[in-house]
Amino acid sequence: MSHVLLPREILPADGRFGCGPSKVRAGQLEKLNAHASLLGTSHRQAPVKDLVGRTRSHLAELFRLPHGYEIILGNGGSTAFWDAAAFGLIDKRSQNLVFGEFGGKFAAAAKAPWLEAPDVRDVPAGTRTVAEAVEGVDVYAWPHNETSTGVAAPVERVHGDEGALTVIDATSAAGGIDLNISQADVYYFAPQKNLGSDGGLWFAAVSPAAIERIERIAASGRYIPEFLSLKNAVDNSRLNQTLNTPALATLVLLEAQLEWMSENGGLQWADARTHESSQVLYDWAEASSFAAPFVADPADRSPVVVTIDFDESVDAAAVAKSLRANGIVDTEPYRKLGRNQLRVATFVSIEPDDVRQLIRCIDYTVEHLG
């Protein structure tokens, strides 16, 4: 038999544990159906612009934005934002912390020919490095949560040269890890992780200093493609619109998720929920005879993306394949990491009790696989 048939009584109620796109709750789909008449209508008219405005307001409330901070958005996901930042946010040189795939992608974008070579601080997967003030660096950038490895990093402002910006990739952290957002000048993310939506858009909480930088670079004469112009994004966001047609389903799903989170207690509640789910997995792995947390330092372990290494006696790929055959999906490790491990999302939409059932399923599978 190629897979283990799991007893029905140990199956989680929902088998989606992927790190993105992530589980979309039934309540979000109900709201999407209720707003079906909005789909396929003009994003320049009031109904869609009002939707954009509501999502911006909900995000501002969720992150407890300080005075002067704004929520802006644009077409594309975080990949588009990396290029937009290279054109319109980095003045001359960035420092990029790389402790996984996605920090590395922003570092690559920062090697643009019109910028000075970035100061890249690269460390092995599963560990973390810290920012260090360096003369001439005007952007300090790293992920709040490295989706590929399950390493989380604090959001703390770097006090370098006057005017230097702290820029945080929050794609898999936003809505699942609490923070003091005044410690960042730009906190950007796509909404398909904790925020339970689809892709197609990026959002960012930006400080007054970041807006000033964006406007100054836009006026400097630097060539910036219209699609990647952060100045365009600021101007359009203030009108509750995007340069091109936004992904309307993404916006509706996002609004439903933000309302649900607000009703339950906001970011503090979400943070407690993801920590509960992730700690269950870490405790299990530390007590297991065949598994261990990939991230050795507990202080660096992510509450929203849990990576578990398996002993060589257990084929983690076979475990993931067997789980998938039972409807428990997307527990495979990040494809480029190449480790004998499982990667499990513990995003806010995932029920902690489903995580507990997942552990029972993993134990049962390992015992009976072969």
pLDDT at 234: 98
Q: Are 150 and 125 in contact (CB under 8 A)?
A: no
Percentages helix, strand, coil for the chain, rounded to the nearest 5? 40, 15, 45
Q: Are 190 and 78 in contact (CB under 8 A)?
A: yes
Between CA 345 and CA 337 the distance in angstroms is 16
> Residue 336: pLDDT band by 50, 70, 90 thresholds?
confident
Dihedral, CA atoms, 320, 199, 194, 56, nearest 10 degrees? Answer: 180
Mean pLDDT of 20-44: 93
Mean pLDDT of 84-101: 97
Mean pLDDT of 252-275: 98
What are the pLDDT digits (tens) for 272-306? 999 999 999 999 999 999 999 999 999 999 999 99
What are the pLDDT digits (tens) for 151-165? 999 999 998 889 999
pLDDT at 2: 74
pLDDT at 296: 96
> Residue 9: pLDDT band by 50, 70, 90 thresholds?
very high
Phi, psi of 355 (to 5 degrees): -65, -40
Q: DSSP string spanning 220-233?
A: TT----GGG-HHHH
Between CA 325 and CA 313 the distance in angstroms is 21
**Prediction pTM value:** 0.97
pLDDT at 197: 96
Between CA 194 and CA 64 the distance in angstroms is 17
Check whether 1 has a pLDDT greater than 60. no
pLDDT at 213: 98
Check whether 322 has a pLDDT greater than 80. yes
Q: DSSP string spanning 11-51?
A: S-S--B--SSS----HHHHHHHHHTGGGTTS-TTSHHHHHH
State how beta strands 305-310 and 201-206 pair. unpaired
Between CA 114 and CA 81 the distance in angstroms is 17
> Residue 190: pLDDT band by 50, 70, 90 thresholds?
very high
Q: Are 187 and 267 in contact (CB under 8 A)?
A: no
What are the pLDDT digits (tens) for 215-257? 999 999 999 999 999 999 999 999 999 999 999 999 999 999 9
Between CA 155 and CA 184 the distance in angstroms is 7
pLDDT at 29: 96
Q: Which residue has the tokens 């700690």?
A: 279
Between CA 171 and CA 77 the distance in angstroms is 9
Q: Are 33 and 27 in contact (CB under 8 A)?
A: no
pLDDT at 335: 83
Q: Give me the amino acid identity at 110.
A: A
At residue 71's C-alpha, the angle toward residues 66 and 73, to 5°, is 165
Mean pLDDT of 101-112: 96
